[in-house]
Structures are given as C-alpha cells and as structure tokens.
Amino acid sequence: QTPSGLNQREADVAGALPRELARLGHSVRLVIPRYGTIDGRKHGFKEWTRLAVPTASGSIGAIIERGCLADPGVPADRSVQVLAVRHDPYFDRHGLYQEAGVDYPDNLERFAFFCRAGMELLLVHGKAAAWKPDLLHAHDWQTALSIVYLRTLYAGQQALKRIGAVFTIHNIGYQGIFPAADYWKTGLGPELFTLKGLEFYGSLNLLKGGLVFADLLTTVSPSYS
C-alpha cells in the first residue's frame, strides 16, 4: 500500500477483470497510462495513433501505444486490447504517484490529462475501428474525472451519448483531494465546484466526482461496500 492509494488488489482487478469479460464474449479495451516502469517490448506495445489532448493549460500531445492481454482461453481476435497513453513528461518516472514517500506535485494535471486523453481516444477509436463502447468503467480517484468529463465536457458528443458509466472504489481512504485553488486545472466550469459536485470541505475531491456522475457504483467486495 502506498500513500497515494495503489495496491496489489487494484492492479489485480485491472489485469484480471478485462480478461474475464473477454472470456464472457465482451469486446474490451483497457486504457492505462504508459508508465516508464512498463516494458513495452515485453507486452508488444506499438504506436497506434497520436492525439492532441485539450487541457486547461492548452493542447498536449499524446502517443497512443497498442498491445494486448494474451489469454489462452480467448481467441486472438477477441483478446483484450491495451491502449497506453504515452506522454513521457507525465508518466516516464520512477514511481507511479510518488517518490520517496512524497506525492508528485503535479498529480492533478497528470490524471486530468489522462482522463481527457481517454475521452479523446474514445472519439478517435470509434472512427478508426468502428468500435463504440456500451460502458465506461473507471477505478478510484485517478480515473474518476473520465466519468465527470463524459457527463459534462463531452455530453454533446453524439458518439458518446449512449455510454453508461460504472465507478469502482478500491480504497476510499485515498480520494484525490487537491486545493481549491487548483480546481481550474481540471478544465471544468465553476458550476461543478459545489456541494453537489466536486467540492469537499473547501477542497477539490476527484473521487467524489466519480461517485456523483457515475450511473452505478461498485466496490471490490461485498464487505467493503
């Protein structure tokens, strides 16, 4: 367990759940940050496309690398595709969320960028591969903004209108809380920084955004719920 909330259980779910869904016949895409700790050659990552990701600070480029989660129980043409969002200044670091026990000071910018990249990727992927998801499944505070963006900034996108949103809580002890002064970095309007939105005792709470905007909430076990 790290102070930023990453644990082995969360990693296990991210790896095992998509495979199990594929075994059940679903077409699954797993979107992850392209962390520097990932061995891209081992997992067969190759550049697939490039995106200009809109952020509160301006457009930032991202390289999307594509690989797959091999599974002997699933035919190769139905294996889980992995789409890794690569922007080395944000993700090519020694740690995921922190180093030497200290959170990276730009974590809000990093994961707001990742979530916006996911939305742009949905738009591009739908055009390039004629693949449109029925469901967006986000996990913990790091991906909570993707659901907020889906329901706000991207609500007018016809291709995304029918997508449902599920938010899973792995560890509610870590909620992605940031100073109110940094709220602008999300790119969201001030109308969402309220008690009914992402405001939490005067601070910004990303996990709360996932709770508020998701259609369904799940936890990793009945007892944890």
The Cα 170–Cα 174 span in angstroms is: 9
Taking each helix axis from N to C end, the angle separating 206-213 and 140-151, rounded to the nearest 10 degrees, works out to 50
Whole-number pLDDT of residue 76? 78
The answer to whether 206 and 175 are in contact (CB under 8 A) is yes
End-to-end distance of the chain based on CA atoms, in angstroms? 19
pTM: 0.92
Placement of tokens 């949103």 in the chain? 165
CA distances 139 to 17, 45, 60, 73, 202, Å, are 12, 23, 24, 25, 24
The Cα 54–Cα 33 span in angstroms is: 17
What pLDDT tens digit does each residue of the chain (225 aa) get?
Answer: 344 444 556 667 778 899 999 999 999 999 999 999 888 888 789 999 999 999 999 999 999 999 988 788 788 778 899 999 999 999 999 999 999 999 999 999 999 999 999 999 999 876 766 778 999 999 999 999 999 999 999 999 988 989 999 999 999 999 999 999 999 999 999 999 999 999 999 999 999 999 999 999 999 889 988
Whole-number pLDDT of residue 128? 63
Whole-number pLDDT of residue 26? 92
